Amino acid sequence: MSGTAAALAALIPAPRASVDGDAVSVLPATLYVPEASQWLSTSTGRIALDGYSWMQAVHWVAGAGLYEPRRYRSHGPRSFGPTTVRVAQLLAELFPCRPGIEYLVRRTGLSERSVEYHLGMLREAGLLAYVVRGTRIRGAAAQASEFARMVPVEFDVALGIRTAGEGTGRRMTGIAEAGRELMAALSKKAARKVRKRRAKSSSKAPAKGARKGADQGAVTAVSDEARCTPMGGSSRSVSSAGTTSFPSESKLASGQSDSPTPKKVKRGRRKLNAVGRRFQLASELIRQVPWMGRAAVPRIAWILKDVADAGWTADEVIAFLDCGDAPGTVHRPSGFLAGRLKTATAQWPHAEGRARAVQAYRDSRRAEKARHQEWEGDWTPPRSESVRRLVADAFAPQQPQYDLPDGHQDAGEASPVVPGEEELKKFRAVAWQEFMLGRPDQVVTTLDALGPAAAEQIYGADLVQRVRKLISGTSLMTVGRR
């Protein structure tokens, strides 16, 4: 019998006789829970009362070898190993067991796909069951799944555990004598933490205990000899005092030491590489050239790769574009720019020539016109119909609105009660006198009660307009009649 087979045989005790002695419990050859039975309502296992007892079942599944992930899928981990146990340790600390994928990724250092693989393995091994399955809805926050920590029925059969109760609420009441030794070994494993394997030891001959822990997938206790290397000594795991060299007191007195490779302190802004220079040039051109205002920076940066790598500045590119006719309406700025700069590096290969061209462009009339175009040119309406409507509403003159009292809500402004001609003349004369004295209360009362239309019929449009300007707070109004 090989060493692996002997280890598995030690983890799975012999079938035990039942209480009446007539039947024998037979352990299945494989351990697998289909997806339909991975819910708390359909699970055949029992709920673990605490994380410690649940970790005993996790270590039993990891060592028994009854669950083989690759038998049911063609991708993912090949075995139920130390990484799955580390994920289970984090789940044992949670109450309720509602782990988020991002939380497990941050704690374990695994990728999101790897965490999903190991959670699926724990469900297929009967160690986890869904209580509530998480959801991912577009536009809403993702909801994490809630699990119940389960003890598979195969674990109870293998160790001869007696239970009482029904369904998933069964509780442990005893254990067979044959399973006590194995339960003690699982208890020791559950009490220890399985940690992440170290990347690669610098020692050529690692300690025996460290090699054994790596083979078993559990880190028990690492001695100081395996972890530390004496200062100035060799990298072997065992060292003597005679071979260890320490620095002299003169070197340690000041508390300072000179490193053979001193660190270089970098200050200031980082220097842009070629790609960053292209994006910087593209952003400057989009801000300065009017017909490039709607262009995408990455596309313009790709078009400017030749001139940016040649050391061109934004002023030099603008000066070169000015050599051609000024465009009217540019529907596709990236295509127009690519056509203009097709032969730019060949025509202006030297920096001195580009500098003279930039100076000539700044002295030209076209450049002066472009500098004042923003303030003196005609306003260009937006292209979007909805934006044009918003702009028109914003610039439209708005008259102040007056709310009618409750008694005049039904009367409206269409049919006000207008006095006779003689009374109107008296009203207008008194209203003008009050207005000239700075007391337009009579007209304001009529506006509030009957509305602007009725007030203009009574007092005239001129007086009503003056009063409305006065109450609207206009500071440029002249009080007086023409």
Residue 265's φ and ψ, nearest 5 degrees, are -85, 120
d(CA 3, CA 27): 21
Q: Which of 12-16, 29-33, 85-89, 236-240 has the highest mean pLDDT?
A: 85-89
Q: How many CA atoms lie within 13 A of 1 on its CB side?
A: 8
Q: Can you tell me which residue has the tokens 């069951």?
A: 129
- Are 67 and 80 a contacting pair, CB within 8 Å? yes
pLDDT for residue 462 is more than 70: yes
Lowest mean pLDDT among 76-85, 267-276, 312-321, 338-347: 267-276
Checking DSSP bridges between strand 146-151 and strand 161-164, what pairing results, if any?
unpaired
For the stretch 266-290, pLDDT in tens is 666 678 898 999 999 999 888 888 8
Looking at residue 458, its pLDDT comes to: 79
Looking at residue 115, its pLDDT comes to: 92
Q: Is 349 exposed, middle or buried (0-12, 13-18, 19+ CB in 10 A)?
A: exposed
Residues pairing with 164 in the sheet? 171
- Please state the rounded mean pLDDT for residues 205-230: 41
- Residue 21: left if φ>0, alpha if ψ -120 to 50, beta else—which one? left
For the stretch 350-369, pLDDT in tens is 888 888 888 888 777 666 66
| 3-class SS of residue 110 | coil
- Residue 473: left if φ>0, alpha if ψ -120 to 50, beta else—which one? left
- Please state the rounded mean pLDDT for residues 100-108: 89
Checking DSSP bridges between strand 161-164 and strand 171-175, what pairing results, if any?
antiparallel
- Please state the rounded mean pLDDT for residues 55-66: 90
- Are 336 and 330 a contacting pair, CB within 8 Å? yes
Residues above pLDDT 70, as percent of the chain: 67
Peptide bond into 96 cis (omega under 30): yes
d(CA 227, CA 237): 8
- Please state the rounded mean pLDDT for residues 231-237: 41
